[in-house]
Amino acid sequence: MSLLLNGNLVRDQIKTECRPRITRIIAKTGRAPGLAVVLVGDNSASAVYVRNKTKTAEELGIHHEAIVRDASLTTEGLLAIVADLNSRGDIDGILVQLPLPAHIDSQKALLAVAPEKDVDGFHPCNVGLLSTGRPGLRPCTPSGVIEILKRYEIPIAGRNAVVVGRSDIVGKPMAMLLLQENATITVCHSRTRHLAGVCRGAEILVAAIGRTAMITEEYIRPGAVVIDVGMNTVRTREEAERVFDAARLAEFDKRGSLLVGDVQPGAMARLASAYTPVPGGVGPLTIAMLMRNTIEAAERRVGL
Ligand code: GUN
């Protein structure tokens, strides 16, 4: 039997733990922790993410602002917005939603965020703190994965963990966090040879590639823990037939599209000892960890 790792449950636990910390910050400072989310351009997925982030902040009583600009914003314009947020006493966390329009220098923008307000954990300063094992703000999605593993009491230390994907947002920080938990890590990417064989060596397999159900049966060691960070939409019947079993295929036919991760759902359920479903696995954790990072940033800034 395969254990389904329920990200919604873990998210709710983390949100519950956030509440008294917010109350304590308000008691000490007279204000709630503050989060600013900057959205540039008209990426519809980003707009949904930002809405969900501010909705969760609202629900927890975290002060939130969405700063929305159209795609004509320049790099200098964005840097000015970030500089203003850096200087504000009532803003503890700043997040610049990615991807930014192509003409904006994303590296410059991420570098401009004050490290102590960098609730995404993307600033090189926080990346360095993570890689040297010092306290700092950690990227939300990979730290959410660690929360799921820990709360389900899945041992990490000494195990072979394979991360597929080397993005700055997920793959690289995921590998560093697993290393910090004393896993033996392998990071795979598009140039990795014999990928399926390397993945089959994994006791913990993390898929963060962004390719629809690319990880199939031959990549999964029977009994492995499989964490699917992917979030892809299946829109054609041809692809649905490749990806889904009969029950999900019927659901696809009803809805016309379905979400799927980077791992073929049926293969994962058959072979893994435990796995995160899509949706309802890793996804819900990203926003919960953002809320926790905002609270942590606020606590450090006010000396709690
Ligand atoms: N785009 C996709 N994921 C993320 C994230 O975690 N943070 C930001 N800022 N942008 C993203």
pLDDT tens string 7-21: 999 999 999 999 999
Checking if the pLDDT of 122 tops 90, the result is yes
In the chain, domain spans: 30-114, 140-283
Phi, psi at 288, each rounded to 5°: -60, -40
What's the confidence (pLDDT) of residue 16?
98
Q: Which tokens sit at 275? A: 């796995």
Q: Are 187 and 163 in contact (CB under 8 A)?
A: yes
Among 44, 49, 104, 145, name the best residue to mutate to test ligand 1's pocket (greatest count of ligand atoms within 8 A of Cβ). Answer: 49
Task: Give mean pLDDT, residues 115-128.
Answer: 98
Amino acid 295: pLDDT: 98
Question: Model's pTM, two decimal places?
Answer: 0.97
Structure tokens at 301: 């800034």
DSSP state of 90: T
Mean pLDDT for the stretch of residues 259-263: 97
Query: 143 CB under 6 A from ligand 1?
Result: no
What are the start-end ranges of the H helices in the chain?
Answer: 7-29, 44-60, 75-87, 106-112, 124-131, 140-151, 171-180, 195-200, 237-243, 246-255, 265-271, 283-302
What is the pLDDT at residue 1? 81
Query: What is the C-alpha separation between 108 and 102, in angstroms, rounded?
Result: 13
Between the CA of 169 and the centroid of ligand 1 the distance, in Å, is 7
55 a catalytic residue: no
The per-residue pLDDT of the chain, averaged, comes to 97
CB of 120 shorter than 6 A to ligand 1: yes
Ligand 1 centroid from CA 216, angstroms: 26
Q: Which atom of ligand 1 is nearest to the CA of 120?
A: 7
Which CATH number describes the domain made up of 140-283? 3.40.50.720
pLDDT of residue 205: 99
CATH of 30-114, one of 3.30.460.20, 3.40.50.10860, 3.40.50.2000, 3.90.105.10: 3.40.50.10860
CB of 97 shorter than 6 A to ligand 1: yes
So what's the pLDDT on residue 259?
96
Testing ligand 1's pocket by substitution, the residue of 67, 95, 229, 292 carrying the most ligand atoms inside 8 A of its CB is 95
Q: How far is C-alpha 59 from the geometric centre of its chain's CA atoms?
A: 20
Residue 101 near residue 46 (C-beta atoms within 8 A): no
Nearest CA owner, ligand 1 atom 4: 98
Q: Which residue has the tokens 């304590």?
A: 24
Per-residue model confidence as pLDDT tens digits over 188-244: 999 999 999 999 999 999 999 999 999 999 999 999 999 999 999 999 999 999 999
Check for a shared fold between 30-114 and 140-283: yes
Summarize the confidence of residues 140-152 as an average pLDDT: 98
Residues 6+ apart with CB under 8 A from 23: none
The whole-number pLDDT of residue 62 equals 98
- The answer on pLDDT for 77 being more than 90 is yes
